[in-house]
Amino acid sequence: MRNTLVFSLLLNSILAGTIGYMVLRLGGLKYVFYRLGHTEVGLYAHRVSLFKKMPDEKGAIIFLGDSQVEQCEWSELLKGVAKQPVLNRGISGDQVDGVFNRLSELNRHNPSKIFICLGINDLLFDKPLRDIETRYFEIVKKLRADNRSAQVCIISVLPVNNDVKRIGIENDQINELNIRLQQIARSFAIPYIDVGTPLLNKKGNLSELFTSDGLHLNADGYFVWKKAIVPFL
């Protein structure tokens, strides 16, 4: 009986420790409670359905990716700079597989430029770098094949700041992925735009000046992004 009790306590301790680690990895209790009420599956489906209902915008400049893309008002940010309509095709939580599966919607716009910012969520959920790289390569390959007149640009995966909030990803991982994205850009002879370096603090993390949660950009951060991409518009 005593051995059973000890084993049960040990098992419960291990379980509690595992759950605690997972909560920390996901950004704390506040993030977990948020996730319980906001499923990415529903968000993905809703955004995709919205994209499909929007009118054609021939020659559009398209921003494609995850929450880093979705959370910016690109058409307003680039007003007076962009010569073509600007479309936001970002979905919070999206990963390389999700983006690959929705590429066909872009074709009807005959886009003039496509900016891709993608990969942070794949790192968050521990997808191997090789798998991210392979799917990213396929995304660029398909975009180039389906939109021959469009200029495709790869935006660097942005740095994080685990001192502001525990994100669960280290900048070393992000840097390694960016090295692979640079190689993809070279393979297709397309621009790779380093948005991350101007956002860094002295420690090599995303500066507190540009984020409130250690991951996403505030308005000042997006104006740094704007400065980096204007030469490519």
Do 172 and 210 share a structural domain? yes
Do 26 and 139 share a structural domain? no
State percent of the chain over pLDDT 70.
Answer: 82
Bigger pLDDT: 14 or 195? Answer: 195
45's tokens: 């489906």
Do 47 and 31 share a structural domain? no
Do 51 and 74 share a structural domain? yes
pTM over 0.85: no
Do 128 and 26 share a structural domain? no
Positive/negative CA dihedral, 175, 177, 146, 50: negative
Do 203 and 192 share a structural domain? yes
Q: Is the pLDDT of residue 221 over 70?
A: yes
Average pLDDT of span 190-195:
98
* Interacting residues of 87 by C-beta distance below 8 A, sequence separation 6+: 54, 57, 60, 61, 62, 63, 74, 75, 109, 111
SS3 211: coil
Do 105 and 8 share a structural domain? no
171-188 and 129-146 helices, crossing angle to 10° = 30
Domain that holds residue 90: 40-232
User: Given this model, what pLDDT does residue 73 score?
Assistant: 98
Do 49 and 32 share a structural domain? no
User: Given this model, what pLDDT does residue 43 score?
Assistant: 87
**Radius of gyration of the chain from its Cα atoms, rounded to whole angstroms:** 20
Going by pLDDT thresholds of 50, 70 and 90, the confidence category of residue 30 is: very low
Number of structural domains the chain divides into = 2
Average pLDDT of span 69-87:
97
Determine which helix (DSSP H) or strand (DSSP E) holds 151, and give its type and residue range.
strand 151-155
Average pLDDT of span 48-52:
96
| Average pLDDT for the chain | 89
Do 120 and 96 share a structural domain? yes
- Between CA 119 and CA 204 the distance in angstroms is 19
Bigger pLDDT: 1 or 218? Answer: 218
Average pLDDT of span 165-178:
95
User: Given this model, what pLDDT does residue 102 score?
Assistant: 97
Do 193 and 90 share a structural domain? yes
CATH number at residue 65: 3.40.50.1110
SS3 125: coil
- Between CA 163 and CA 209 the distance in angstroms is 13
User: Given this model, what pLDDT does residue 34 score?
Assistant: 41
